[in-house]
Structure 1
Amino acid sequence: MTTIMSLFEALSRLENNAPIILKKGEYRINNDSVAIEAGAKKGFIRKEKREHHEILEAIKKCQLSWKPRPDITEWKSKCESLTKKNKRLQMQLNEAWAREVLLAQRLNELEKILAKRSNIIDFPKR
């Protein structure tokens, strides 16, 4: 059973951006995230329960002062742009490989044509 103490510990971890269960930076501090971080199910913290009154007040205070770190959103946007750039470069690389194969085939064809028209005979290697 989840105790009130574990709920406060979970709230403290979320506030310090050091969660154990949730992913860093991918949460908002609310009743459900605190409950999940404490090891309980979503919806565990309820307004109707008298013993949850203190944790609900602490969560409200924390919600007013806590904001997600701006560097996390900055890194997410940077990651998305780098992912797009990676996909674009991968497509360019695939196109370059296709050109390379096409040119190698064409070179092979031209060498065969040249060999037929040439009067030079290759001696077998020893």
Structure 2
Amino acid sequence: MPDILNDYFEALNRLIRGKPVNVPKGTKITNDSVSLEAGRKKGTIKKSRPIFSDLIEAIDAAAKAETKPGNELQSKLDKVKAQAAHYRGLWEEALAREMSLVKQLWDEREAWAKERAALSDGKVISMRKPSRVLNPKRDS
């Protein structure tokens, strides 16, 4: 029986190193993948068999070690994506404020142009330069 366990432990080591022979590279480390890598059938490693207790502990430890870096990278990626989304939101808010101010300025310029046109129609007399027609005493 120890030879069988050696086959399983060698298969586990190949999976940990990322150089499997019987399963595709990048296969998740599980009891079934170790048994397939060892050249056995799926499900041959069972928790109910006491001979496999050390092997199952080693497989569980390797699986935790395998998923830990991935989780760290995924959490970093999620954090950076959230930060990028936050800054994109701030940027879009700033653009909305700027566009609002541009529209307000445009509306004010149009209103001023209308008022200026109304003032220069000739219906309103400028108070700065009095007309000679309106002030005859000054001409004498």
Give the residue type in structure 2 aligned to 1:30: T
Higher relative contact order (CA 8 A, sep 6+): 1
Matched, 1:90 2:95: no
- Residue 20 of structure 1 is matched in structure 2 by 25
Unaligned stretches of 5+ residues in structure 2: 1-7, 47-51, 121-140
**What's the RMSD between the two structures over aligned residues?**
4.0
Contact 2:33 2:42 in 1 (8 A): no
Matched residues in 1 for 2:72 and 2:81: separation? 14
- Residues 98, 65 of structure 1: CA spacing in aligned structure 2 closer, same or farther, 3 A cutoff? closer
TM-fit CA distance, 1:110? 0.9
- Residues 82, 35 of structure 1: CA spacing in aligned structure 2 closer, same or farther, 3 A cutoff? farther
Provide the TM-score with structure 1 as the length reference.
0.52
Contact 2:32 2:43 in 1 (8 A): yes
Report matched runs for 1:10-89 at 5 Å.
11-17=12-18, 20-22=25-27, 27=28, 29-34=29-34, 44-47=42-45, 59-60=55-56, 62-63=58-59, 66=62, 67-68=64-65, 71-89=69-87
Contact 2:31 2:43 in 1 (8 A): yes
Give the residue type in structure 2 aligned to 1:31: N
Give the residue type in structure 1 aligned to 2:77: C
Unaligned stretches of 5+ residues in structure 1: 1-6, 49-55, 122-126
* 1:118 match: secondary structure: helix
Matched residues in 1 for 2:32 and 2:105: separation? 66
**Rg larger in structure:** 2
Report percent identity of matched pairs. Answer: 26
- Residues 35, 94 of structure 1: CA spacing in aligned structure 2 closer, same or farther, 3 A cutoff? farther
